[in-house]
Amino acid sequence: MTIESMIWLIPLAPILAFFIIVLFTNRSKWLSHTLAILAALTSAVMVFWLISKVLSTEHFGEHPIQSYLPWFPAGDSWFTISVLVDPLTILTLFFVAVTILMIFIYSVGYHNFGAPKGDHDRPGLQPHGATVSDAHGHKHTVMSIEPMYSRFFAFFGLFAFGMYLLVTTGNLLVLFIGWEIMGLCSYLLIGFWFAKPSARAAGIKAFLTTRVADVLMLLGIAYLYFATGTLNYKEIFVPEVLEGLAATPAIGNILGLSAAGLIGILIVIGTIGKSSQWPLHVWLPDAMEGPTPVSAMIHAATMVSAGVYLVIRFFPLLSAGWDGHGLTAPMQLMAFIGTFTAIFAATIAIAQNDVKRVLAYSTISQLGFMIAALGIGGYIAAAFHLMTHAFFKALLFLGSGSVIHGVEHGVLHTGDHIDPQDMFNMGGLRKKMPVTFWTFLVGGFALAGFPILTAGFWSKDEILADAFIHQHWPVFITLAVAALITAFYTMRQITLTFLGQPRTKAAEHAHESHWTMTLPLVILAIFAVVIGWAGIPEEFPVLGGILPNVVHVVGESLPEHPEAIPFNWLPLLTSIVVSLGGLFLGWLVYRNVKAGQPDPLAKPLGPIWTVLKNKYYFDELYDYIFVRPAKWMAEDFAIWMDTNVIDGILHGIASVGPILGSFFRNYIDKPIVNGFGDWIADVTRKMGVSLRVIQTGRIQQYMLMALVSLVAFGVVFYLLLVQ
């Protein structure tokens, strides 16, 4: 089997797992999760084998692995699809394969495999605990197994298929197919506990918000196909084609854009929706309604990363016409949106109390970093941060899931009805859940960009250096501030959750999670530390050059390889100060929060705090502008239209019949038709009445009449015949 044909098969195992679980093994939980994990493992093994084959190739970027397949006839020719494996693909496949496998394993423990069935559990509800009695007859509640266990793994398999498809393909249409499959799975998995109204609403919100972006993206895809006649990357990213697109004005000369500019902007809009950037960011925080593995995989590591992957992949098109100085229109859009979102989401994150919400806004903010990096031309920096972020964000989410499980256990044990996800109900968990604590710490430091030791530092530093060197000062300063706030809220989270003393009884009774949950945490933590070292710039003092800079090979995917960024102390110092300073401040402010105390920042910031806590009221704004009119249209207007206008028209048409009928009856049938008949009869009768007078019975009159007629006839005959 050649490498080319094997690449087509990478997405196969998970989709097979999906079908088999849905059709056959639904009842057996053990069989379902084993199948799913085996599928993820198979794909991962294929990916690693691929990587091993590829690492030895010199200048891999210039000789990517491609394979073409004609799919359907389109006009005179065939529409071909392809797979493409180049350095960017390898980088993405690597973190996708590892995170998917880790999260699959984690889900076994998260859904409490092996636990008894819950007392009041039903499919559609979150598991609520089962009462068990121990040897002495004491009853206490423990965590129960998820009723829809197999369904979860089936959906995950479908999702993995979608992601692999998106990453391995070399065709934009197939990418869009994978994109939409993941969108579907996101909806299904956010609303996994469908009996909860908030989960249902969150699923719909996610789907509809991304749908808005997807429609515009589809327009971009269509326009691209129209302009170039193909959707395969290697046929589009040819210099002649790109220059042609950059030179042609867009249809209708909208905003003075070139064709490449308009297509680029539409594609960027697709990413804005999928990667939850402002203004389409509202769905991701609500998506935390889903189970934590879902949040980890879909909303941290893979699906939202797919949006960034798309714009990185399409960088040649987005930067078509970029001469190194003025940014093209799509790049300007990305730079602005990315930077704005980074600081916007970071400010909201510091005011959230739910442990998963903080991480959600953190994801939005970090994705903003990546998009901003790409917007200013930092191709390699964006790809690097994409990879490191996937690892440490997945790690953080899984860690938060472990924490929530621990507190849940405490809630069930003590019967203390508190929100297990609220950080202000936690505290001191480092003693109760050490593994979780240390791995979470690693992940948090990576997010904050703790120097040297964590991967996040290297990737974030690369972004800031890129911004600095190319003198995009607004971007540089804003991202630096955002990084500071990132470190601050990360330490806030760690301090509130793990440090200090337990603030509730439930937190006191927390215990460490099962090994199926902690093993993935450890593995991901190792990656979160180590992977950054694969991208140390060559010119870095002391450390540069020790390890080969594998990440920069990604640059060879582009037609023109980006030059390495010269080393500069200022961005490096900025990174270090911002990260350490933020961490220190976070620990400082939050270390002494006791049970029942409000947030220390609430009073000093006052009204600003309220605005941040309420997410700048964007949800309320969108509800007012979009949701309510849509509901009015659907519920009131449509019904009014149907009942009054359409039914009115129908009644009107229907009433034509009786009206016409009565008109014909009363004005034509009765007077004219009947009347005519009656009139003839009447005339005949009247004629009879008037003629009857002649018959008097008197002979003399008869004779008289006869003689008069005779004379008359005689005259007539005489005049006619004789003359």
Partner 1 sequence: MIPLSWYLIFAAALFCIGLYTVLVRRNAIIILMGIELMLNAVNVNLVAFWRYVNPQLIAGQVFAVMVFAVAAAEVAVGLAIFISLYRRRNTVAADEVDLMKW
Partner 2 sequence: MTALQILFIIVAAVTLGAAVMVANSRNLVHAALWLIVSFGGVAVVFALLNAAFLAVAQVVIYIGAIAILLIFAIMMTRHITGEKTARFTTNHILALLLAIVLFAGLVWMLLGWSGSAALAVPLDARADPVRQLGAALVAPDGYILAFELASVLLLGALIGALMIATERK
Which residues between 672 and 701 bind partner 2 (CB under 8 A)? 698, 700-701
Nearer to partner 2, 239 or 714 (CB): 714
708 binds partner 2 (CB under 8 A): yes
Question: What does 711 interact with, of partner 1, partner 2, none (CB < 5 to 8 A by kind)?
Answer: partner 2
704 binds partner 1 (CB under 8 A): yes
Q: How far is the CB of 710 from partner 2 (least distance, A)?
A: 9
Question: What does 697 interact with, of partner 2, partner 1, none (CB < 5 to 8 A by kind)?
Answer: partner 1
Report the C-alpha gap between 35 and 157 in whole angstroms: 9
The token duo for 625 is 């502008």
Which residues between 169 and 198 bind partner 2 (CB under 8 A)? none
Say if residues 440 and 454 touch (Cβ distance below 8 Å).
Answer: no
Nearer to partner 2, 2 or 723 (CB): 723
711 binds partner 1 (CB under 8 A): no
| Residue 201: burial class (beta carbons within 10 Å; 0-12, 13-18, 19+) | middle
Question: What does 714 interact with, of partner 1, partner 2, none (CB < 5 to 8 A by kind)?
Answer: partner 2
The token duo for 670 is 């009765």
Cβ partners under 8 Å of residue 439, min gap 6: 395, 399, 518, 521, 522, 524, 525
Say if residues 587 and 441 touch (Cβ distance below 8 Å).
Answer: no
Region of residue 85 (phi > 0: left; psi between -120 and 50: alpha; otherwise: beta) = beta
Which residues between 269 and 308 bind partner 1 (CB under 8 A)? none
Question: What does 195 interact with, of partner 1, partner 2, none (CB < 5 to 8 A by kind)?
Answer: none
Question: What does 666 interact with, of partner 1, partner 2, none (CB < 5 to 8 A by kind)?
Answer: none
716 binds partner 2 (CB under 8 A): no
Report the C-alpha gap between 362 and 354 in whole angstroms: 12
3-state secondary structure of 195: coil
417 binds partner 2 (CB under 8 A): no
Q: How far is the CB of 707 from partner 2 (least distance, A)?
A: 6
| Residue 601: burial class (beta carbons within 10 Å; 0-12, 13-18, 19+) | middle
Which residues between 670 and 699 bind partner 1 (CB under 8 A)? 695-699
The alpha carbon dihedral of 632, 633, 634, 637 has a sign of: positive
Binding range to partner 1, per CB under 8 A, among 318-326, 434-442, 578-586, 703-711: 703-711
The kind and range of the H/E element at 66 are strand 65-74
Question: What does 638 interact with, of partner 1, partner 2, none (CB < 5 to 8 A by kind)?
Answer: none
Question: What does 702 interact with, of partner 1, partner 2, none (CB < 5 to 8 A by kind)?
Answer: partner 1
Say if residues 498 and 417 touch (Cβ distance below 8 Å).
Answer: no
702 binds partner 1 (CB under 8 A): yes
Say if residues 4 and 50 touch (Cβ distance below 8 Å).
Answer: no
Nearer to partner 1, 699 or 721 (CB): 699
Report the C-alpha gap between 303 and 188 in whole angstroms: 14
Nearer to partner 1, 594 or 698 (CB): 698
Question: What does 699 interact with, of partner 2, partner 1, none (CB < 5 to 8 A by kind)?
Answer: partner 1
Q: How far is the CB of 662 from partner 1 (least distance, A)?
A: 46
Q: How far is the CB of 686 from partner 2 (least distance, A)?
A: 23
Nearer to partner 2, 666 or 709 (CB): 709
CA angle 687, 689, 694 (to 5 degrees): 95
**Cα 248 to the center of its chain, rounded Å:** 32
The pattern of x and - marking residues 574 through 593 that bind partner 2 according to CB under 8 A reads --------------------
Nearest C-alpha neighbor of 459 from the set 367, 350, 561: 367
The alpha carbon dihedral of 456, 459, 463, 469 has a sign of: positive
Question: What does 695 interact with, of partner 1, partner 2, none (CB < 5 to 8 A by kind)?
Answer: partner 1
Nearer to partner 2, 689 or 722 (CB): 722
Contact residues toward partner 1 (CB under 8 A) are 695-700, 702-704, 707
List residues near partner 2 by CB under 8 A.
Answer: 698, 700-701, 704, 707-708, 711, 714
